[in-house]
Amino acid sequence: MKIVRQISVGVVAGLGLLSLAACDSGASAVKAPKGGERASAASEGSAVEASTESPRRSDPRDAPVKLIAGKPYWAANRDRTAEENAQRSFQRNGETFGAKSADDYVAKVHAFVSDPPKGSQTLKRANGDLLIYDPKDNVFAVVSREGAPRTMFKPDEGAAYWTEQKTREARRATAAKKRERDEAEG
């Protein structure tokens, strides 16, 4: 009886090792997904999309962007083109600034970020974005290092929102310095 158990245990252990040996971290039959995609199975060496409901849209950040006074109209992101982001921001915040259209809103944002009112406070992020806050009129805006607006709105929390942004950026800077120190010691 002991021999049968030992053989059974040995067979199970051997099969387990054999199955682990098959997973050698070599090429996979599953295509690694990019942001927003699902993993898909490979078919005879070529990748096949898991979802064919709609064709994968190219990266909106690669689309051409019109210029206003030599600066990009608006900032694109992974999900939306510059024009789509501007339209979205206009729909959310345009009325607050008396804008009649997305183009009117974009012009107002460009005017604000290119020449912030006297007394405005600024903060530069590590990625080059410039945060601007006008405490007098309670206006917050972000512009990329290329001069493309990302947002402009009047925070409900007022100056507390600006304080929160400064605190968040200080935490990020501290964490980045700590990572650099740890890597240097490392």
pLDDT, residue 73, reads 86
Q: What is the DSSP string of 113-147?
A: HHSPPTT-EEEE-TTS-EEEEETTTTEEEEE-TTS
Is the pLDDT higher at 157 or at 28?
157
pLDDT, residue 51, reads 44
How deeply is 100 buried, as exposed, middle or buried, from its count of CB atoms within 10 A (0-12, 13-18, 19+)? Answer: exposed
Is the pLDDT higher at 167 or at 32?
167
Look at residues 172, 162, 173 and name the one whose alpha carbon lies nearest to residue 122.
Answer: 162
pLDDT level of residue 32 (50, 70, 90 thresholds): very low
pLDDT level of residue 62 (50, 70, 90 thresholds): low
Which range, 16-30, 48-62, 69-83, has the best average confidence (pLDDT)? 69-83
pLDDT tens for each residue of 70-125: 898 899 988 899 999 999 999 999 999 999 999 999 999 999 999 999 999 999 99
Calculate mean pLDDT across residues 11-23.
48
Is the pLDDT higher at 15 or at 161?
161
* DSSP H or E segment with residue 153: strand 149-153
Is the pLDDT higher at 91 or at 64?
91
Say which DSSP state 31 is in: E
pLDDT, residue 68, reads 79
The angle that helices 102-114 and 82-93 make with each other, rounded to 10 degrees, is 90
Local structure of 87: helix, strand or coil: helix
pLDDT, residue 27, reads 40
pLDDT tens for each residue of 131-140: 999 999 999 9
Structure tokens at 87: 């339209």
The residues, any chain, with a CB within 8 Å of residue 171's CB and separated by 6 or more, are none
Is the pLDDT higher at 73 or at 62?
73
Give the C-alpha separation, 179 to 108, whole Å: 39
pLDDT tens for each residue of 140-176: 999 999 999 999 999 999 999 999 999 999 999 899 8
HSE, side-chain direction, 13 A CA sphere, residue 131: 16
pLDDT, residue 125, reads 93
Is the pLDDT higher at 29 or at 63?
63
What class, spelled out in words, does domain 60-185 have in CATH? alpha beta
CA angle 135, 149, 179 (to 5 degrees): 85
CA angle 22, 27, 29 (to 5 degrees): 90
Say if CB 153 and CB 140 are below 8 A apart.
Answer: yes
Look at residues 29, 27, 49 and name the one whose alpha carbon lies nearest to residue 38.
Answer: 49
